Amino acid sequence: MKNWCFIILTVAAFSTKSIFAQTVKINEFMASNSTTIADPYGDYEDWIELYNYGTDTVDVGGLFITDKLDQPMRHRIPAGYEETKIPPQGFLLLWASNDTLKNGLFDLDFRLSMSGEAVGLFALDGATPIDTIVFGQQVTDISYGRYPDGSDNWVFFNFPTPGTSNSILNVENLNGFNEPIVAYPNPVTDGSISFSEKISFNMYDAQGKFMGTYTDILKLNTKGLRNGYYFIKTYCGQNIKFMHIGH
């Protein structure tokens, strides 16, 4: 009798977890990460962001993620860790590093191809799809994801937001993305960033919060800014991203 109770409880737990996992989406990813964000080891690896749009915390431990939809069990997310639990409207960042030496909790056994392939999230049984995306050619340091978060609308993001909500600053037209104006040093560590010519612009933080308007300047004082990414949209239509890691 005890054995039957154990089997019933195990099946119930499996079913409940699978149901809750249905509120997890592949929300954003980058198939060629050169300068956008470093992993805990300081390396710029490809990355995949998961988003829980539901009202309950979801533990993705034990689920499978893959870059080949015909091989759904390519990587199993480790189970039994608090870190694999995604709160409501929360995010989880996975590193597609294919680096077995790192053996990090969120390091995956594959990399993404910028020439196009797929990403799939599968249930505990390794067969039931939770979410999948097939994508085409990608561009270095430009991510691809859902806007708004969790929606069915996929766009290219000039200003990626790994681990946070996809911002209204994201730009879809890749043909207009370039940065002829040089900003240095980048990352900023000494309290100021200079530009190769005088520019006028609006500045925003990584969440899209307006930080101010600046006119005809060659150097921006960054003292007082929190560490993180900031985005400049010049009046002439140029986009500049810089990282502030000063004290």
- Give CA separation, 51 vs 31, 71, 112, 195, in Å: 18, 22, 19, 36
**Residue 240, beta-bridge partner list:** 232
Helix (H) or strand (E) holding 8: helix 2-21
Burial class (CB in 10 A: 0-12, 13-18, 19+), 139: middle
Structural domains in the chain plus CATH codes: 2-172 (2.60.40.1260), 178-244 (2.60.40)
pLDDT, position 60: 97
- Residue 170's pLDDT band (boundaries 50, 70, 90)? low
pTM of the model: 0.66
Q: What is the pLDDT of residues 44-74, one digit of tens each?
A: 999 999 999 999 999 999 999 999 999 999 9
CA gap 170, 49 in Å, rounded = 16
- Residue 31's pLDDT band (boundaries 50, 70, 90)? very high
